[in-house]
Amino acid sequence: MVTGASGFVGGHLAQHLLEHGNYVVSISHDKRTTNTAALLGIENRIDWAYGDITNASFVKRVVADYEVEKIFHLAALPIVRVGTRTTIPIFEVNIMGSIAVFEAAKEQHLSGYPMSVMYMATDKVYGDAGPKPYREQDSLNGLGVYEASKACADLIARSYYNNFGMKMLVARPCNIYGTADMNSRLIPNTIRRCMAGLSPVVYKGITYVREFIYTSDVCEAMILLMNNIDRFSGQAFNIGTGNQFTQEEIIELILKYFPGMQPTYKEPQAYMQNEIPYQVLDASKITSMTGWKPKVSFEEGLEKVVHWWEDHKDVAHVSLRASA
């Protein structure tokens, strides 16, 4: 089961699993005309259970009915700025939804059925740990609404291993980019604006640093960890590349594909003032313990994303309107 398989990362993960002969089921609350699974051409290859992930009885029924053996739990309300607009749904979905998934897995585990669970957290669970690469043993100090919700679920996931002996892992990837991303994140939104003839926006004074990883690299890392869960249960793993950029540096790289365009400088939105200034991961643990390394350079990945959007201009216009 891949929760959140209609979303950006979940869709790509489901695609990887299907390509390797796995049977995939997912839970979906909303039905959108454009979603990543549909754009990747896998929507009809996934069995969808429609319902509320915070409904523990529903999630237990899905896990039991579909005889799920492995769960990649990615479903979340994922956009940081949304947490400044609507707090309770963020906590309900990201914390109580996670508990519903973990409880369904625990029920199967205690009944004697094999069950493995990976929770996808984020680098943002560390909060502001200063200008250094974050390591897995660092404290979780995410104080924004979204960051706090993910940090809580991160701790709760590992508590299920500690208290019930479940096969449980936590993945903490850095910022993920790739094709078919319908969210209003920096990379896809800048590309869509340029394609529409609109100047990309640089927010004045926002110099925070972010680390980026291409979708295929993070999906391969998560599957590798899951396949070795017997060795790594109860642990958390950073998944990063060391590729770090400011917003201006990202926009400059994108503008190489749109010669003649110049950015527009605007005052930052209120929520940006509270964002973490520096976030880069130390991913030496996953490399030393599994041999995993990222394969896609940032320049190569960015080129793939730009070309994908050029081939999907109709979707670009729809998603640009939605994120405006």
Q: What is the CATH number of the domain that holds 125?
A: 3.40.50.720
| Amino acid in position 209 | V
pTM higher than 0.85, yes or no?
A: yes
Average of pLDDT values for 168-176?
A: 98
pLDDT reported for residue 300:
98
Average of pLDDT values for 274-288?
A: 93
Residue 310 lies in a domain: no
Q: What is the helix (H) or strand (E) element at residue 3, kind and residue range? A: strand 2-3
- CA atoms of 213 and 301, how far apart (whole Å): 9
- CA atoms of 61 and 39, how far apart (whole Å): 29
Q: What is the helix (H) or strand (E) element at residue 256, kind and residue range? A: none
Cα R_g (the chain), whole angstroms:
19
Residue 318 lies in a domain: no
* Domain boundaries, position 149: 2-183+213-243+280-296
Q: Are the CB atoms for 319 and 182 separated by under 8 Å? A: yes
Q: Are the CB atoms for 245 and 187 separated by under 8 Å? A: no
What are the residues facing 134 on neighbouring strands?
A: 281
Helix (H, G, I), strand (E, B) or coil at 255: helix
pLDDT tens digit sequence for 21-55: 999 999 998 777 789 999 999 999 999 999 999 99
- CA atoms of 124 and 122, how far apart (whole Å): 5
Other CB atoms within 10 Å distance of the CB of residue 306: 22
Residue 151 lies in a domain: yes
- CA atoms of 237 and 222, how far apart (whole Å): 9
Residue 133 lies in a domain: yes
Residue showing tokens 């201009």: 313
Residue 33 lies in a domain: yes
Number of domains in the chain: 1
Residue 227 lies in a domain: yes
Residue 55 lies in a domain: yes
Model confidence at 184, pLDDT cuts 50, 70, 90, reads: confident
- CA atoms of 99 and 156, how far apart (whole Å): 8
Residue 116 lies in a domain: yes
Least confident of 38-47, 80-89, 152-161, 225-234: 80-89
- Taking all residues of the chain, what is their mean pLDDT, rounded to a whole number? 93
